Amino acid sequence: MVDNQNTTSVEERSSRQELRELVRSQLQMFLEQGHFQGAKTLLVPVQPADAAEAIEGLPQTLHAIAFRLLPKDKSSEIYEHLDSKVQQTLIEEFKNQELRDLIDKMSPDDRVRLLDELPVNLVRRLLKELSSSERQATSLLLGYEPNTAGRIMTPEYVSLKEHFTINRAFERIRSLANITETIYALYVTDSARHLTGILSLRDLVTAEPEQTIGEIMTEDVVFVHTSTDQEEVARTIQRYDFLAVPVVDSEQRLVGIVTVDDIIDVLERETTEDIYALGAVQADRENYFQMSLFRISKRRVSWLLILLLTNILTGGIINANEAILERVVSLAMFIPLLIGTGGNVGTQSSTVVIRGLSTDKIRDTISWPIIRREALVGIVLGLMMGALVVVGAYLVQRDWAVAVTVGLSLWGITTLAATSGAALPMLFKSRGFDPALMSAPFIATCVDVLGVLIYFYVARLLINV
């Protein structure tokens, strides 16, 4: 399965990467020669995300110097794109005045994300530097639970009133355009700030000048609550193809909006968490590749120890059956095949079910039709492979009893693995746990235990010992 597209994109990507690398090396040269005006000019036409990458690539001693050369109106945006480690070292070097300029201009949701990742003493210093209105906005967001709509929303949006004319609405948008995160999604509120309608800038552009906002707005508003989980917010935006979704408090008053660009990052983080869980790696907000060796080992060893205990149980069962193993040593050679295949089938089933649950393809918490189907798939796969293995085992050992034992056990293990691979994540979800915790290694290890039990049980039935 060679991926042709991939080759093209690698080339294209590398050409753009070369460009970025060129910017970085030129920037370093200018800075090392003290040619600050040159460095300044160099960065003017560069996209914020690329400028951030160029700065990250510099030796650490040059970070602060490079950053201070940025034009004031772009520095906040570039700062938002910097890696959290670099953000932190910069903050430590900044004077209070610089901090105030920088942090005050960030949008509240990005600022909260920054604060979430910084050590407490730096957070305190930062909050002190904020203007009172910005501090209020930030504290508001910090008051909500992590991973909720309240935490990732921005309180800077354009709100209109129903009686506004199209022209008056345009004026208001123009006056707010530079300080709100988006002007494309517009929100209509009553005097008590209750959300009564939405419209898009497109609706406004195509409206007749004499119409009022109340006439052209949509009253069927899809919204989320401040306490809604961020993944659910992302699914809502995705489902309805929105550019932003409004966030209301418990009294249905509009308090903020979540925009689509933040949602893409949320989806990526949530997916990374799911994938890590599937691979039995404990996830957190931090970038895995920047963690210390000690922290990585700590994050990985807990799951490994749980799985080790289960493996010891498997070993214990084999040990308990030492009598039969001693007489028919050839049984030992099929153990990896049986538990390996069982683990693989279980992994397949849990993978599709966990993904189905997290993309809302499976809507019921416990879906019997899906469990039944996976069980059937397990039976079919078990029959196919079991038949193959009976023949293979006979050819190797020339013993029908052993061969049939292996085949029958494989069939049973495969069926069991597929069924539990599908059912366990759903069971976990229905109990309020993260279904992704039913990771591939976990299912595989559980199937191991049951697999050897089945194997020795069948062996005792079929082989006279």
Q: Using the rule CB under 8 A, is 217 a contact of a copy of itself?
A: no
CA distance 92 to 104: 17
Report the amino acid identity of residue 194.
H
Q: Using the rule CB under 8 A, is 6 a contact of a copy of itself?
A: yes
Q: Using the rule CB under 8 A, is 343 a contact of a copy of itself?
A: yes
CA distance 201 to 289: 41
Contacting residue, 156, 168, 227, 427, with a copy of itself by CB under 8 A? 227
Minimum CB distance to a copy of itself smaller for 155 or for 382: 382
Binding mask 259-298 for a copy of itself (x = CB under 8 A): -xx-xxx-xx--xx-xxx-xxxx-----xxx---x--xx-
CA distance 270 to 283: 10
Q: Please report the sign of the dihedral spanned by the C-alpha atoms of residue 351, residue 450, residue 370, residue 360.
A: negative
Q: Using the rule CB under 8 A, is 376 a contact of a copy of itself?
A: yes
Minimum CB distance to a copy of itself smaller for 212 or for 238: 238
Half-sphere exposure (Cβ direction) of 312: Cα atoms closer than 13 Å: 6
Q: Using the rule CB under 8 A, is 392 a contact of a copy of itself?
A: yes
Minimum CB distance to a copy of itself smaller for 54 or for 389: 389
CA distance 386 to 69: 69
Contacts with a copy of itself: how many residues (CB under 8 A)? 137
Binding mask 415-444 for a copy of itself (x = CB under 8 A): -----------------xxx--x--xx--x
CB 191, min distance to a copy of itself, A: 24
CA distance 282 to 20: 33
CA distance 52 to 55: 5
Q: Using the rule CB under 8 A, is 332 a contact of a copy of itself?
A: yes
Q: How far is CA 373 from the centre of its chain?
A: 29
Q: Which of 83, 225, 238, 239 is nearest to 151 (CA)?
A: 225
Minimum CB distance to a copy of itself smaller for 65 or for 279: 279
CA distance 420 to 448: 12
Contacting residue, 334, 411, 455, 456, with a copy of itself by CB under 8 A? 334
Minimum CB distance to a copy of itself smaller for 94 or for 144: 144
Minimum CB distance to a copy of itself smaller for 384 or for 461: 384
Q: Using the rule CB under 8 A, is 350 a contact of a copy of itself?
A: yes
Q: Using the rule CB under 8 A, is 300 a contact of a copy of itself?
A: yes
Piece in contact with a copy of itself (CB under 8 A), picked from 121-129, 229-237, 247-255, 456-464? 229-237
Contacting residue, 39, 160, 258, 335, with a copy of itself by CB under 8 A? 335
Piece in contact with a copy of itself (CB under 8 A), picked from 34-42, 116-124, 190-198, 339-347? 339-347
Buried (b) or exposed (e) across 334-346, using 16+ Cβ within 10 A? bbebbbebbbbbb
**Phi, psi (degrees; rounded to nearest 5) at 131:** -70, 160
Minimum CB distance to a copy of itself smaller for 103 or for 281: 281
Of residues 172-211, which lie at the interface with a copy of itself (CB under 8 A)?
A: 173-174, 177-178, 183-184, 201-202, 205-206
Write the DSSP assignment of 171-214 as a string of letters: HHHHHHTTTSS-SSEEEEE-TT-BEEEEEEHHHHHHS-TT-BHH
Of residues 7-46, which lie at the interface with a copy of itself (CB under 8 A)?
A: 7-10, 12-13, 17, 45-46
CB 449, min distance to a copy of itself, A: 9
Contacting residue, 373, 394, 404, 463, with a copy of itself by CB under 8 A? 373
Q: Using the rule CB under 8 A, is 231 a contact of a copy of itself?
A: yes
CA distance 39 to 68: 11
Which 8-state DSSP code applies to residue 399? -
Piece in contact with a copy of itself (CB under 8 A), picked from 92-100, 101-109, 190-198, 219-227? 219-227
Minimum CB distance to a copy of itself smaller for 210 or for 219: 219
Binding mask 125-154 for a copy of itself (x = CB under 8 A): --------------------x-xx------
CA distance 103 to 137: 12
Binding mask 307-326 for a copy of itself (x = CB under 8 A): xx-xxx-xxx-xx--x--xx
Round to the nearest angstrom and report the end-to-end CA distance of the chain. 49
Half-sphere exposure (Cβ direction) of 441: Cα atoms closer than 13 Å: 19
CB 391, min distance to a copy of itself, A: 12
Of residues 44-73, which lie at the interface with a copy of itself (CB under 8 A)?
A: 45-49
Q: Which of 333, 340, 320, 303 is nearest to 439 (CA)?
A: 303
Helices (H), 57-107: 60-68, 72-81, 84-93, 96-105
Q: Is 347 exposed, middle or buried (0-12, 13-18, 19+ CB in 10 A)?
A: buried
